[in-house]
Amino acid sequence: MNHKGMLMAMSALLTAASLLGTGTGAQANKVEQKQVKVADNKQLQINLSREVVSMDPALAEDAQSFTMVRATFDGLTRTDAEGKIVPSMAKKIDVSEDMITYTFHLRDAKWSNGDPVTAYDFEYAWKRVLSVDLDANYSYQLFPIKNAEEANFGKVKMDEVGIKVLDDKTLQVILEKPTPYFLELTSFSAYYPVNKKVVEKNKEWAYEARTHVGNGPFKLDRWEHEQKMTLVKNENYWDKDAVKLESIEGLMIEDEEEALALFDKGGLDWIGQPLDILPGDTIPALKKSGKLQSHPLSGVYWYKFNVEQAPFNNAKIRKAFAYAIDRKQITDEVLGLGQIPAMSVIPPTMTLKGGGYFKDNDKETAKKLLKEGMKELGINELPPIALSFNTSDANKKIANAVQKKWKETLGVDVKLQNKEWKVHLEDMHNGNYQIARLGWNSDFTDPINFLEMFKEKENGNNDTRWEHPQYKKLLDESDKEKDPKKRKQLLAEAEAVIINEMPVVPIYFNNNVYLKNEKLNGFVIDGVGTIDFKWAYYKE
């Protein structure tokens, strides 16, 4: 997942930078050119901010595509209105005792063009995602399936992948090893079916409304490229009675201030993350007014220590620097967007220990640990220390705040190094740093997605070069544990180890901020930030 980690880190960076920026100063008359929506509690209007890149579930990679694909397709499972993973296209799911074999029994369902949805559609779609020719960036999400990774790299034939159709309505999947979060994975777009007949007839099937075919709550009705996209309720959807909206119209307004003005006039029901960005200079007033909405994400902003460079080869010194940071000041004063101070590695969306493992801005403990750590290293003064970060207004402001606190609490002068993104990453991967900023947004809401990157020092995402035998042992045991409660306990013990060793310093947990029509309810935002409007409705 190295390439994905890099993409997610960049995504977190760009989001933070954009949110602290300002709007582009749109002219008021631009707003007048947009048609203000007539009051209608069956129609939803959102701002996509830009052209949707792809309506092909195998190739969707951005928030706009994810949102519209989720509206027009349905997987074997889905996150329901209460935020739980439930069977969707699968009416029944059998799991073997060893948690290796999954048998999905499909319900009767149709594509938007009237064709029946079969197990063969899922097999075709999944193997298409894994194919070398398609080169889908999210193919790794299928790697828990037996031989999927090898097939994706052309090492084995596709027939050897653990996907087997037993009959039109029965799909059997064999995994490499027990994967407790597999049913969450099957709710993601990379696991959606596609209509083989439609795809093979026209390679561009997913890029025009007239040729697009889905199996979800809505179907693509109009696509005015660079302008707007309109979805209408799919009369062939198996669960159509649960769908209250008649249509979703996605406008493509790039200008943040223009979108906000249109929202204020009643022409939009939703603006903000993850589909677009609110003007940065309006955030304080929106927050004060109570209109600003916030949703926690499975993402963390953190600093990494290079544990192979002194003085951060000492755990007590690492913890001293971590404890001396004032996270609440950063989230409240520097950022001000409702981010959550992080005193653990795992975000609240999948927490293993509520409240965290240490106190924020714990000055006395930080001073004590620094003194003890220096004694253990046999030094009377610290060597020159540098904190590096990639170019971003947000990163710079956070680094300035942390630098000041380290000086006030620990008496340490820390040099700040602002680097271009590629240079920053390369230096981290090569171990050419002492402390460096990065982040991680999870691909699925399971703690292992955060913990596994620090299991081996050679892991491409483990720039800290930290490794711990007890930590590895706990993760190995969790890999084999079938009991969810016992597995969670093992992961909590592993998190306690990494916090005690502190190779990485959590600073805050990410969130989405947005504005919505106060009457809009029933939408679902999952832990990775994708919106589902299947159950959305307007309350009277």
pLDDT tens profile 342-377:
999 999 989 998 889 999 999 999 999 999 999 999
Identify whether 182 is part of a domain.
no
Mean pLDDT, residues 526-532 taken together: 87
d(CA 448, CA 442): 10
User: In this predicted structure, which of 88-92, 177-181, 374-378 has the lowest mean pLDDT?
Assistant: 177-181
Q: Could you give the 3-state DSSP secondary structure of residue 405?
A: helix
Would you say 25 and 284 are in contact if contact means Cβ atoms under 8 Å apart?
no
Identify whether 223 is part of a domain.
no
Identify whether 397 is part of a domain.
yes
Nearest residue to 280 (alpha-carbon basis) of 462, 1, 22: 22
d(CA 359, CA 487): 26
Looking at per-residue confidence, does 128 or 441 come out higher?
Answer: 128
pLDDT for position 3? 38
Identify whether 355 is part of a domain.
yes
Q: 467: pLDDT confidence band, cut at 50, 70 and 90?
A: very high
Identify whether 319 is part of a domain.
yes
pLDDT for position 151? 96
The string of pLDDT tens digits covering residues 256-282 is 999 999 999 999 999 998 898 888 788
pLDDT for position 9? 37
Q: What percent of the chain has pLDDT over 70?
A: 93
Strands 520-521 and 537-538: antiparallel
Residue 32 pLDDT greater than 50, yes or no: no
pLDDT for position 28? 35
DSSP conformation letters of 244-261: --SEEEEE----HHHHHH
Average per-residue pLDDT for the chain: 90
Identify whether 482 is part of a domain.
yes
Would you say 191 and 76 are in contact if contact means Cβ atoms under 8 Å apart?
yes
Q: What are phi and psi of 221, to 5 degrees?
A: -100, -45
pLDDT for position 442? 85
User: In this predicted structure, which of 80-84, 115-119, 338-342, 425-429 has the lowest mean pLDDT?
Assistant: 80-84
pLDDT for position 279? 86
Q: Tokens 């739980």, residue?
A: 84
Nearest residue to 69 (alpha-carbon basis) of 182, 235, 212, 244: 212
Rounded-to-10 torsion of CA 257, 263, 269, 271: 20
pLDDT for position 8? 38
Residue 12 pLDDT greater than 80, yes or no: no
CATH of the domain at 506: 3.10.105.10
Q: 434: pLDDT confidence band, cut at 50, 70 and 90?
A: very high
Identify whether 94 is part of a domain.
no
d(CA 529, CA 442): 10
Crossing angle for the helix pair 2-19 and 421-429, nearest 10 degrees? 140
Q: 242: pLDDT confidence band, cut at 50, 70 and 90?
A: very high
pLDDT for position 40? 62
Q: What are phi and psi of 242, to 5 degrees?
A: -80, -10
d(CA 440, CA 510): 9
Q: 33: pLDDT confidence band, cut at 50, 70 and 90?
A: very low
Domain holding 318, by residue range, is 295-512
Mean pLDDT, residues 68-84 taken together: 94
Identify whether 503 is part of a domain.
yes
How many domains is the chain built from?
1
| Omega of the bond leading into 116 within 30 degrees of 0 (cis) | no
Q: 445: pLDDT confidence band, cut at 50, 70 and 90?
A: confident
**Which amino acid, residue 171?**
L
pLDDT for position 533? 97
Mean pLDDT, residues 48-63 taken together: 93
